[in-house]
Amino acid sequence: MKTHLTRTLVVACAAAVLLAPLAQAGDASKIVGAWELVASTPDGDLPSVLTITEAGGALEAELKIDGMARRVTDPKMEGNVFQMTVHVDGIPYDVEATVEGDSFEGTWSGTEASGTLKGTRHPS
């Protein structure tokens, strides 16, 4: 149970790194698209898929971890840095990543565990 929870949290956090509904229009374009993410967890790598769209300067995102959506709060994109909080089973995990072109790299952390994450944008 803890292994599944840890993996779910890690992927959710990774996805959170790419979600930014409050991003400025110029910064939003840096993260818009479909992303394949991998979070490193104490139990191994955990993949997920994140899709980010932009409407009126605000970002919207959908994260799928084993087909389950995760709640994201306080997302923001400033320059090349993305931050957000992902909630998994009531536990918040903070995510911060740097977006460079079609890749990003960052960290996730919460009371249950922490780790790194990487992602690649799928070509349009």
CATH of the domain at 30: 2.40.128.120
Of 5 and 50, the structure prediction assigns the larger pLDDT to: 50
Q: How many CA atoms lie within 13 A of 22 on its CB side?
A: 11
Identify the domain containing residue 92 by its residue range. Answer: 2-121
* Number of structural domains the chain divides into: 1
Residue 59 pLDDT > 60: yes
Alpha carbons 83 and 26: distance in angstroms, whole number: 16
What is the tens place of the pLDDT at every residue in 31-53? 888 889 898 988 888 888 777 77
Of 81 and 7, the structure prediction assigns the larger pLDDT to: 81
